Homo-oligomer: A and B are copies of this chain.
Amino acid sequence: MSERADAARNRRAILRAAEDLLATHGAGISLDQVAAHAQVGKGTVFRRFGSRTGLMQALLQERAVQLREALESGPAPLGPGAPPAERIVAFLDALSRLAAGNLSLLAAHERSCATDRHADPTYVRWHAHLENLIAQARPDLDAAFVAHALLGMFDADMVRRLTPQEDPGRFARSLRQLVGELLA
């Protein structure tokens, strides 16, 4: 038996509450707020997720699970089968969409993982995927480095700043252009 029924129920309640509050109150929410909104004791939040960082990582993983499956076994060009260059563009486009729809979560996640954000499992997975594709497309480049550079653009502030209201497509477009230069 892996998790008692009440525990599972509370876990879901906490995730939902955090989602809600992030959407309505931005990235600065406290765990007391989350606990209250989930109608749960503060201790429960920590028992389920270990820390603020743990909660944010869990939230991000939840949002990223579809993308993950698409990468591993979905249709090309996101999934396997297409040439690396196309897969890179598809992946970054997907990330752009995911980021655009989850800015507060992204910001909160960064804030929590301030120390050593490269250890986050989601980040690690994305980086490995990208590094691998880059190494195939351009074996002469420092793939790990370039992968970090590209993922670095998904900083919440960065995305917000580069997504002006009058031109919401700018971020994704400029990112594609940048990648185009690198793979040319």
Contact = CB atoms under 8 A, between A and B. Distances in A.
User: How many copies of this chain?
Assistant: 2
A142 B177 contact: yes
B141 A177 contact: yes
Contact of A174 (B110, B142, B158, B178): B142
A148 interface: yes
Q: How large is the interface on A (under 10, 10 to 19, 20 to 34, 35 or more residues)?
A: 20 to 34
Contacts of A170: 142, 145
Interface string A132-167: 000000000110111011101101011001100000
A124 to B, nearest CB: 12
Contact of A118 (B111, B141, B161, B184): B161
A153 B162 contact: no
Q: Which 3 A-B pairs have the closest CB atoms?
A: A142-B174, A145-B174, A152-B152
Given A118-B157, A148-B153, 11 more contacts: A118-B158, A141-B178, A141-B181, A142-B170, A142-B173, A142-B177, A145-B162, A149-B153, A152-B155, A181-B184, A182-B182
